[in-house]
Structure 1
Amino acid sequence: MSLRVFSPKPLVIAALHLPDFARSRGKSMAAYEDYVATNAKVFAEAGVPYIKLQDATRESGRAAPDSIAMTAALARFLRAEVPNIGLGIIIEAHDPVAALSVAHASGADFVRLKVFVGGVMTAQGPRNGMGAEAVAFRAALGREDIAIFADVHDRTAVPISSETPEFAAEWAQKTGADGLIITGSDFPDSLARIRKARESGIKRPILLGGSVTEGNVAEALGTCDGVIISTALMRKDAKPGDVLRWDIDLTRRFMDAARKA
């Protein structure tokens, strides 16, 4: 795996959430493209180095074929619209093959996999670690250049086993994750978990996956190797149906604070 994906300083990844395709199949492809282009350009103009295109289609099992196709097409479109920004992929379904296939087709730099090791209970039911399948499929594709970012005890799910977060981080590192994403119940808990992971011997880059703001990004980047942000940069005055969802001024201020850190 090339370390190129970790080279931007500061390492900031902005999550661009797609609509749930299962609930919005009546929309035209042009409408989806307009949404992606409008919001991706906010991040690009503010100097964010990476966008993570986030499929939000809830599935109880593998990703639906149309979700895979739509995400891949929109990711490729995003690449063309903002060619100077890096790209990551996350698929809502528990499906590493889908995420890596979309990344392979679109030329993305990384994928984020939420349940990489261990087992958790999610809103869609129980899910077991997908790490071994992900690493094997990436090798089969011959795409070791696509980095795998693995969540460790993500706060959107409840572990169904008793290992500590730092022990789960070690599992993820040994299974083949190139970078780890740690997100505690709140910002202080996230920092505490990151410190414990480092103290336990984790060498992989660690990103903080939530609760990062303009006010605390300096502290975050003093503890971890990068941050993922989305909600804190969204427009407060956005109305239902507005295409523009992210605030350019908030995003610029956030990046200024991150650079100063």
Structure 2
Amino acid sequence: YFPDVAPAETVASLSIVAHEIYKAFPDTLMGICLLADPIASIAVAHSSGAKFVRATVFTEASVDVSGLAIRRPHEILRYRKFLDPSIKLFADVHIKHSAPLAMRPIEESAYDAAYFLADAVIISGKHTGFETPIENLRKVRAVLPDYPILVGSGMNKLNAEKIFEVASGAFVGSTFKIDGDSYKSVDSERVKEFMCTVKKIRSGFLGEK
């Protein structure tokens, strides 16, 4: 992907796809994530009916194999206000597959994202499918006791209870796939098993038959 601005053809194509998904499933919560380009993500969300965007780069510069990604939160917030202030902005902190240009404690970076009006912060493991370290979640929760904290990678039916003791929610992908492999197709049985576990956690009945 491009570390600075998403190409016009990508933005146009994603807008069409997202709009068709929204038409087919109007009652399903849909979000947009164009890697490293939250402004383009907001534009796609506005045109398609999506309710939130995931900003992989928000308050700090990030370095990965694609290069250096830099975003300015005030520009992102002004653009959202211009198009649609109701679109929620979920900001990654120390985003997976990359590293901050200036390494700082994760709780400081998360505090900055909240200070600059992200609607939630996202904490992840090192890569897609890698478990999010519980100690990182606890550090962030300590400085943001009443703030929405989302897990961005590695949640499964075995660690869900532990994670939900700290986190408010999660993005789940790999665990829904065949063999837990993000490159494979969705396994409906794995989805059912995971959601059954989540429902038990929500009801306070985990471990009961």
Which TM-score band applies after superposition, normalised by the shorter structure?
Answer: 0.7 to 0.9
Q: Deviations over 1:62-93 (max 9, x none)?
A: 1111111111111111112222210000002x
Distance, in Å, in 2 between the alignment partners of 1:217 and 1:139 is 35
What TM-score does the superposition give when structure 1 sets the normalisation length? 0.71
The equivalent of 1:213 in structure 2 is 156
Aligned amino acid, residue 131 of structure 2 = F
The equivalent of 2:204 in structure 1 is none
The equivalent of 1:122 in structure 2 is 64
Q: For the structure 1 residues 122 and 188, does the alpha-carbon distance in structure 2 shift closer, same or farther, using more than 3 Å as the test?
A: closer
Equivalent positions of 1:4-153 (< 5 A) are 58-92=1-35, 94-141=36-83, 143-153=84-94
**CA shift at 1:237, angstroms?**
10
What TM-score does the superposition give when structure 2 sets the normalisation length? 0.87
Higher fraction of strand: 1
| SS of equivalent residue, structure 2 residue 167 | coil
Percent identity at matched positions?
26
Q: For the structure 1 residues 172 and 202, does the alpha-carbon distance in structure 2 shift closer, same or farther, using more than 3 Å as the test?
A: farther
Aligned amino acid, residue 224 of structure 1 = A
Aligned amino acid, residue 257 of structure 1 = T
Match of 1:204 among 147, 168, 179: 147
Q: Deviations over 1:201-250 (max 9, x none)?
A: 35320001111112111221121000111111112499x9xxx8211111
Distance, in Å, in 1 between the alignment partners of 2:3 and 2:56 is 14
The equivalent of 2:131 in structure 1 is 187
The equivalent of 1:259 in structure 2 is 199
Aligned amino acid, residue 190 of structure 2 = L
Q: Is the 1:170–1:202 contact (alpha carbons within 8 Å) kept by the matching residues of 2?
A: no
1:247 aligns to 2:191 (yes or no):
no
RCO higher in structure (CA 8 A, sep ≥6): 1
Distance, in Å, in 1 between the alignment partners of 2:101 and 2:88 is 27
Aligned length: 197
Gaps of 5+ in 1: 1-57
1:155 aligns to 2:96 (yes or no):
yes
**CA shift at 1:115, angstroms?**
1.1
Distance, in Å, in 1 between the alignment partners of 2:73 and 2:64 is 17
Gaps of 5+ in 2: 202-209
Distance, in Å, in 2 between the alignment partners of 1:155 and 1:119 is 13
Aligned amino acid, residue 198 of structure 1 = R
Q: Deviations over 1:137-173 (max 9, x none)?
A: 00111x1211000001112111121321100011101
The equivalent of 1:36 in structure 2 is none
